[in-house]
Amino acid sequence: MASAHTGRTAEPVYRPVLTAGRSELEALGHLDSDAAVLVVPILTLTAGDPVDLLGRLPAGLTAAVDLTGFPETGPLLGLLRRGVPLVPVIGFAEQADRLVSQGAMARSHLGWAVLRLRLRADPCGADAATAAVERIWRRTGLMPEQCDLLLDVGEVCCMADLRAAEPRVRRLVDWARRHAWRSVTVAAGAMPPALPGLPDGEPVRLARWDWRLWQNLTGLGLGYADYGIRTATPGPPERLPGMRYTADGAWWIYRWSRRGGRGDDRVAELCRAVVAAPHWPRAGAGFSWGDHEILRRARGAAGAGSATSWAAWGTSHHLAHVLAALRQPAGPPPPSANDRRGERPDGHRSRGPRHGGRPAWPSRGGESGRTG
């Protein structure tokens, strides 16, 4: 049975780029109504993904779906006919016939789409970008004001990546201001493609360079997007019981060895370490569904779960943490990409940057003032 989706009452402030796997969809499914209206997830669909779960997303949440690796549109059209609010994500190099069908999908349902410019793959010069968007608008029948622009940087995993990405984004923002977009958002992913050599049995801090990039761009009116707790480049699956737990400017990676004790005991020990850490939220289990599940394991009130469960709990906490940060009042200007103070040789930082200001694209993007 389809969810009773309702119209939005606030403009989104966060557009996480997520896979349409069970862990991410489960985390999205536990967003409360206040949070759901502030999030537009960019879901990448591939063959075999549980498309039917999109119909169970919470009321007020609109999902954007990237069909690049998903040739069949029949299941999505069925969801649209049931009233599930979905919008297409259109690539700059999309084939002409698919542009026509995606334009029809956008116009016949919610009336807007997301245009995704991948900085590592698509032509990013002003002339090439203009030619690409004019082709998209012509084939889809959409107008600029019916399109959200997503500037997808891809991996930003160290200071060098940050220094390379920031000026490119600034040039693209200058280009984007020529058009009347609904909103403009920058997306980046800072989780490394693989985490080899990390010790197990103790938490390890990894800097969130994607958050640092967005902070450095404060003042340009850009919305924020990241890749959640996953990497922008798929890597090998995690084999140890693990947790990727988001904190201010960093992730804490927990990996507990398979050696010694039952699986339930190892996961309970891991969760007790999370709950006892300084970055455990003041609201505790009330901060997010994921934190509630972590606390249950820490108390031995539930089983260990699986890798899918651990990813779902971490994603749920991440969504709540980012929304809380984006809804804070504007803070002091962040350090520039040339400021190397506090950087360790391994690319981590001894102290993470504080939260920056809110996204507010001049036309329609950014936060509406809703505080939940």
Give the CA-trace dihedral at 266, 271, 277, 281, to 10 degrees. Answer: 170
Closest CA to 346 of 199, 132, 164, 186: 199
**Highest averaged pLDDT of the listed ranges 90-104, 162-176, 189-203, 263-277:** 162-176
pLDDT at res. 366? 35
Residue range 66-84: average pLDDT?
74
The per-residue pLDDT for range 167-207, each reduced to its tens digit, is: 999 999 999 999 999 999 999 999 998 887 788 888 999 99
C-beta atoms surrounding 261 within 10 Å = 13
Is domain 17-236+319-326 given the CATH code 1.10.238 in the classification? Answer: no
Confidence of residue 260 (pLDDT cuts 50, 70, 90): low
pLDDT at res. 164? 96
Instruction: Give 118-138 as a DSSP string.
Output: ETTTS--SHHHHHHHHHHHHH
Look at residue 344 and tell me whether its pLDDT is greater than 60: no
The per-residue pLDDT for range 117-173, each reduced to its tens digit, is: 999 888 778 899 999 999 999 999 999 999 999 999 999 999 999 999 999 999 999
pLDDT at res. 294? 97
Geometric angle at alpha carbon 176, from 173 and 180, rounded to 5°: 135
Q: Is 178 helix (H, G, I), strand (E, B) or coil?
A: coil
Look at residue 270 and tell me whether its pLDDT is greater than 90: yes
Closest CA to 11 of 41, 42, 37: 37
pLDDT at res. 258? 59
Look at residue 274 and tell me whether its pLDDT is greater than 50: yes
pLDDT at res. 350? 34
* Spatial strand order in the sheet of 63-69: 17-19, 42-46, 63-69, 86-91, 113-118, 147-155, 183-189, 223-226
Spacing of C-alpha 211 from chain mean position: 11
CA 131 to CA 141: how far, in whole Å?
Answer: 15
pLDDT at res. 11? 76
Provide the residue ranges of all domains of the chain, joining segments of one domain with +: 17-236+319-326
Rounded to 5 degrees, φ, ψ at 326 are: -70, -25
pLDDT at res. 80? 80
Residue range 95-118: average pLDDT?
91
What does DSSP assign to residue 343?
B
